[in-house]
Amino acid sequence: MLFAFVLLATASSALSEVAKRSDTIGLSAGITDVPLNETSSKEASSSTKGFDVSTLISSSSASCFNSNGWSYVVTRAFHSSGTVDSNACPSLTAAKSAGVGTRDVYMFPCPTCSASASAQMSTMLQSLSSCSAWSGRVWLDIEGTQYWTGSSSNNKNFYQSLVQACKSQAHACGIYSSAYQWSSLFGSTSYSYGSDLPMWYAHYDGNPSFSDYPNYSYGGWTSPHAKQYAGTTTVCSMGIDKNYSPSF
């Protein structure tokens, strides 16, 4: 599909980040529940650090990332407007050529569009069908109340259809969200669906570890797969979000 978090502060602090990017919301640069002073961010080790982006990765930036030990990348492949992101495959190709090992995509869906969740998934996957640089996983970017419906029931129905579509159409799937966004969209952090899939959570505390997760758990996941711990920072001449995962 793009973020990270400290305590859930207020709805306005989270949504201010959403508003900043309008249609570009989704993973990079990510929503924060509390803005982070990036100078306080620690650096993950080379084997655990990755980044996500919503813009085109140039070959020079991709080489810079690889040279500096960034081992995985997630790039946007679908806009919240319901259209594919044409930068996805060129970005993945640049990353592969530079030697970045794992190259996933994220999907920022359009719950209010006329196209069904299944149709949106199909459209995105068709655009990636000839992209040999893609590692094969789709991360579903679940956030941004203003891009969803005003009904938690309707939101659940769309989300469940999206998970089903991903499972049936894609090679591999995962869920990206946060406790705050989950509760805002679905009415409670206890709502659970898709918890059999890997989960990538956002918490901008500048700490590349999962030590905070017990205080920010949601959705039935007992352990996370990845964490977005710092966002909207410039690395290798690009705006990225920083991520930690011991097994991405």
Which element (helix H / strand E) includes 150? none
Indicate which residue of 33, 85, 104, 141 is catalytic. 141
Q: CB neighbours (10 Å) of residue 92?
A: 26
Beta strands in the chain (DSSP E): 49-53, 72-78, 102-107, 137-141, 172-177, 199-202, 226-235, 238-244
Q: Tell me the one-letter amino acid at 49.
A: K
**Are 223 and 195 in contact, with CB atoms under 8 Å apart?**
no
The answer to whether 212 is a known catalytic residue is: no
Catalytic-role residue among 33, 52, 85, 241: 52
Burial class (CB in 10 A: 0-12, 13-18, 19+), 25: buried
Taking 3-state DSSP, the helix, strand and coil percentages for the chain, each rounded to the nearest 5, stand at 35, 20, 45
Which one of 143, 205, 212, 241 is the catalytic residue?
Answer: 143
Could you tell me if 105 and 134 are in contact, meaning their C-beta atoms sit under 8 angstroms apart? yes
CB 181 within 8 A of CB 13: no
**Known catalytic residue at 141:** yes
Residues with active-site annotation: 52, 141, 143
